[in-house]
């Protein structure tokens, strides 16, 4: 059996997704997610122009070798475009191996280490009553852990808060409750770190008062603080016992985390924009974080993310894979198989996809009693309906960006 052909499928049911479909000489197909939120077509070109021509004739069972070949032979390593493209090939080959052996991918990775995956959802509100309603809705949907994002007095539109087009001067409405929006230009939002730092501890105090001490609560700082600001926030949030504080600083400066760590015991999660184990190397070895936020789609696939997670396990650091709707159902399935198999699973971010997306991607994935499970179909357990996908052509979409009150461009 050899790889016969590969094709790149772009579809935009509720949002844009890029999928690689590999077909073998025996007619077995495998799917891989190559979606890079807001820069989708760059990965399409990388795959179509430079990777697809290399795949025909290869042995689909040699997953490790295919990965090393694509990573090393290009000479130009790392980066989100390259790694999303390699990830798609890696996932598709695991999917094929599962179908050929008749096993779900988690069985090939060592078998289940748990019954299902604890997942957290995104609650948000401009004001406390709206936030509380959002928390209650998530609890009713079965979530056992919840991320809390709040509006900040004086700021009109900020990340992580579900909003209407009218909030941002007529930009396109967010899709799937996620920050990216369809439109020709990105939407501008505002930011003021001092106002945020003053406001947030009171929000957590109110949420703890309303919902009690047991519910695991998370928060995403979205790279917006300096190291000393992040240290202060971590310290101020300690009384409210967070599950984690995410992306407290722009993490390409890994040394910043040493300073944060010196001041706070609030657990830290980082890495949703990282692409390789090298981005995590210092953070893991020096135990500067508690959770690895990499996504299977952006980290080059199941093969390298498993290595990163195994490395983290030596330091009791756990997984917390990135999983809003910019990870397609194929990518979510891939990281659910990995999360089920690894010992050091921590938590999975989970935001359900829209109805149209679920019609394009048929999934064996289940969500029951607050636990995710990838299902027991051979391979990843996702099939793509190409006719349905063809009904939704690509539509340009961007993530929003933000500026300070004086017009200075700020970190995402």
User: From CA 253, how far away is CA 249, in angstroms rounded?
Assistant: 8
User: Which residue in 57, 54, 56 sits closest to 71, CA to CA?
Assistant: 54
Annotated catalytic residue, options 159, 175, 196, 392 = 159
Of 60 and 339, the one with the shorter C-beta distance to Mg ion is: 339
Range 375-406 burial, b when 16+ CB lie within 10 A, else e: bebbbbbbbbeeebbeebeeeebbbbebeeee
Least separation in angstroms between residue 92's CB and Mg ion is 26
The sign of the dihedral angle between the CA atoms of 115, 120, 121, 123 is positive
> Hey, which bits of 97-187 come out as E strands?
117-125, 145-150, 181-182
By Cβ distance, which residue is nearest to Mg ion?
220
* Residues 78/278, Cβ–Cβ less than 8 Å: yes
Of 178 and 272, the one with the shorter C-beta distance to Mg ion is: 272
Of 52 and 148, the one with the shorter C-beta distance to Mg ion is: 148
- Does 222 participate in catalysis according to the annotation? yes
> Hey, which bits of 232-308 come out as E strands?
244-246, 268-270, 291-292
Of 90 and 220, the one with the shorter C-beta distance to Mg ion is: 220
Q: Which of residues 214-233 bind Mg ion (CB under 5 A)?
A: 220
- Does 177 participate in catalysis according to the annotation? no
Least separation in angstroms between residue 273's CB and Mg ion is 9
Least separation in angstroms between residue 354's CB and Mg ion is 20
Could you give the C-alpha distances from 290 to 286, 297, 327, 343, 381, in angstroms and in order?
A: 11, 21, 22, 15, 30
Least separation in angstroms between residue 159's CB and Mg ion is 9
User: From CA 329, how far away is CA 335, in angstroms rounded?
Assistant: 10
Least separation in angstroms between residue 91's CB and Mg ion is 22
Q: Total residues contacting Mg ion (rule CB under 5 A)?
A: 2
Q: Which of residues 98-117 bind Mg ion (CB under 5 A)?
A: none
Of 86 and 273, the one with the shorter C-beta distance to Mg ion is: 273
At residue 104's C-alpha, the angle toward residues 139 and 31, to 5°, is 90
Q: Tokens at residue 17, please?
A: 């997704």
Of 40 and 272, the one with the shorter C-beta distance to Mg ion is: 272
Q: Lay out the site mask for Mg ion across 247-276 (x = CB under 5 A, - = otherwise).
A: -------------------------x----
User: Which residue in 18, 28, 14, 26 sits closest to 380, CA to CA?
Assistant: 28
Annotated catalytic residue, options 219, 222, 298, 322 = 222
DSSP three-state, residue 43: helix
Q: Tokens at residue 8, please?
A: 């790149």
Phi-psi region of 65 (alpha: psi -120 to 50; beta: other; left: phi over 0): alpha
Least separation in angstroms between residue 326's CB and Mg ion is 11
Unique residue bearing structure tokens 């077509």: 41
* Residues 354/176, Cβ–Cβ less than 8 Å: yes
Of 220 and 236, the one with the shorter C-beta distance to Mg ion is: 220
Name 167's Cβ contacts closer than 8 Å, sequence gap at least 6: 156, 157
Q: Which helix (H) or strand (E) holds 136?
A: helix 128-140
Could you give the C-alpha distances from 390 to 9, 359, 375, in angstroms and in order?
A: 9, 12, 26
Least separation in angstroms between residue 404's CB and Mg ion is 21
Of 33 and 178, the one with the shorter C-beta distance to Mg ion is: 178
Q: Which of residues 23-42 bind Mg ion (CB under 5 A)?
A: none
Q: Which of residues 128-187 bind Mg ion (CB under 5 A)?
A: none
Least separation in angstroms between residue 182's CB and Mg ion is 21
Catalytic sites, residue numbers = 159, 222
Binding residues for Mg ion, rule: CB under 5 A, are 220, 272
């Amino acid at each position: 059996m050899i790889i016969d052909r590969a094709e790149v499928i772009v579809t935009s049911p509720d949002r844009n997704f890029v999928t690689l479909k590999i077909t073998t000489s025996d007619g077995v197909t495998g799917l891989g997610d190559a979606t890079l939120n807001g820069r989708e077509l760059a990965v399409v070109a990388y795959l179509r122009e430079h990777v697809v021509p290399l795949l025909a004739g290869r042995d689909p069972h040699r997953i490790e070798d295919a990965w090393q070949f694509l990573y090393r032979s290009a000479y130009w390593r790392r980066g989100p475009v390259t790694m999303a493209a390699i990830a798609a090939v890696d996932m598709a080959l695991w999917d094929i191996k599962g179908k050929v052996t008749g096993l779900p991918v988690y069985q090939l990775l060592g078998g289940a280490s748990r019954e299902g995956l604890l997942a957290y959802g995104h609650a948000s509100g401009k004001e406390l009553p709206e936030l509380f309603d959002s928390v209650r809705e998530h609890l009713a949907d079965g979530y056992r852990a919840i991320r809390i994002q709040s509006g900040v007095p004086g700021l009109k539109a900020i990340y992580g808060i579900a909003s209407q087009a009218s909030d941002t001067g007529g930009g396109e409405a967010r899709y799937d409750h996620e920050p990216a929006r369809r439109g020709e230009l990105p939407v501008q939002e505002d930011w003021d770190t001092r106002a945020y730092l003053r406001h947030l501890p009171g929000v957590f105090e109110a949420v703890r008062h309303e919902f009690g001490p047991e519910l695991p609560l998370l928060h995403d700082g979205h790279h917006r603080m300096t190291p000393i600001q992040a240290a202060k926030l971590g310290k101020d949030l300690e009384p409210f016992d967070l599950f984690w504080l995410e992306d407290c600083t722009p993490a390409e400066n890994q040394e910043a985390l040493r300073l944060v760590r010196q001041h706070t015991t609030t657990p830290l999660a980082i890495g949703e924009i990282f692409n390789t184990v090298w981005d995590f190397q210092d953070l893991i070895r020096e135990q500067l974080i508690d959770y690895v936020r990499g996504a299977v789609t952006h980290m080059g696939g199941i093969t390298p993310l498993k290595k990163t997670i195994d490395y983290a396990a030596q330091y009791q650091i756990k997984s917390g894979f990135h999983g809003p709707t910019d990870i397609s159902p194929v990518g979510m399935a891939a990281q659910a198989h990995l999360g089920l198999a690894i010992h050091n699973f921590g938590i999975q971010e989970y935001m359900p996809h829209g109805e149209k997306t679920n019609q394009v991607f048929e999934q064996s994935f289940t969500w029951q009693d607050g636990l995710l499970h990838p299902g027991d179909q051979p391979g990843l357990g996702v099939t793509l309906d190409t006719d349905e996908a063809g009904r939704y052509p690509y539509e340009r979409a961007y993530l929003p960006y933000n500026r300070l009150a004086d017009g200075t461009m700020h970190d995402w």
